[in-house]
Amino acid sequence: MSSVTTLDEGVVAAYLQANVPGFKGPLSASKFPGGQSNPTFRIDADSGTYVLRRQPPGKLLKSAHAVDREYRVLAALRDTDVPVAEVYHLCEDPAVIGSMFYLMEYCDGNVYWNPALGEIDGPNTRGAMYDQMARTLASIHSVDLEAAGLADYGRPGNYFERQVGRWSRQYRASELQKIDAMDRLIRYLEANIPADDGQVTLVHGDFRLDNVMYAQDNRRLIAVLDWELSTIGHPCADLAYQCMGMRLPASEQQQMAPGGLGGLDLQSLGLPSEQDYIASYCQYRGIDRIDNWDFFLAFSFFRLAAIAQGVAKRASQGNASNASAGEVGDMVAPLAEMGLEIIA
């Protein structure tokens, strides 16, 4: 029987062999460590190595864990400048393993959880890796939506108004206790949404270091991972979300909670400051500046807090993907307070 941490290997092998050209079992499945949302498994079969990504079992919040959207955007980006894994099959029948899932290419590379890149020797290499992230993010925001078949992937316009509403609703649906800082931050965001400036692009929704993969020599970014939250929206949502990591405190437990670069000597590490990273991104996109930056950052802290609350809610119901999910709920209030500090 399949669960949040295991797969029924016989059932999966039979299904994939019948539905994926070239696939041949038997197979063994092992869950990747980390990740709080959609359980992801390495599949080793006679025909090769793959990755299977599924919705968690159990009752889910509406619009959450949209692996079918992940599959669609990955397929659409195959022939663009955005590096992604190739996808092979989407199973929309929950009767097979208990929830929807898809199969994709296994990319053999490096994923790093520590934003300071302490495992990497040499500040120049670290700086180059961050520069590749800025370039890749600009590539995502430069995708021709019509040509990629993604023009209807989300609603254009009024992105932040819709996002504040969406995440407020999801936060309320996941709320386990009243958190004053979240209530205050929601009120601020609702009252200070910037006028729509007309920017409409593909947005990743969770662009950060541990959602990109580098080649084994770390010289090239070979894949952007975890497209669950992608949509059509405002590019500054992605940029602010990643730059939020510049302000989060550094953490030694990267797989249990998102750690940042706060308090570290970025220059000695070879890492860009927030301002330098923004400048590189703007250069790659061919734009001059970013307006309304404080709002975008505050929104990013709010959104991450709302996501953390959802993880805590699933943990309370016993269907979270990661064993440490319950601890993520402790992040909600501090994240909201950091958002309030930006706009104080």
Residue type, 263: G
pLDDT of residue 326: 60
pLDDT of residue 255: 44
Domain that holds residue 18: 9-105
How many structural domains is the chain composed of? 2
pLDDT at 252 over 90: no
Rounded to an integer, the average pLDDT of 255-266 is 76
pLDDT at 156 over 90: no
pLDDT at 256 over 50: no
Ranges 49-58, 163-172, 179-188, 224-233: which has the least confidence: 49-58
In this prediction the pTM is 0.88
pLDDT of residue 140: 98
172 and 260 in a single domain? The answer is yes
Q: Decide if 2 is inside a domain.
A: no
50 and 150 in a single domain? The answer is no
13 and 50 in a single domain? The answer is yes
Q: By C-alpha distance, which of 35, 234, 276 is closest to 133?
A: 276
Q: Decide if 96 is inside a domain.
A: yes
Model confidence band, residue 344 (pLDDT cutoffs 50, 70, 90): confident
Which long-range contacts link 167-171 to residues 24+ away (Cβ below 8 Å)?
167/302, 167/303, 167/306, 167/307, 168/306, 170/61, 170/64, 170/306, 170/310, 171/305, 171/306, 171/309, 171/310
Rounded to an integer, the average pLDDT of 202-226 is 95
pLDDT of residue 64: 56
Model confidence band, residue 136 (pLDDT cutoffs 50, 70, 90): very high
251 and 210 in a single domain? The answer is yes
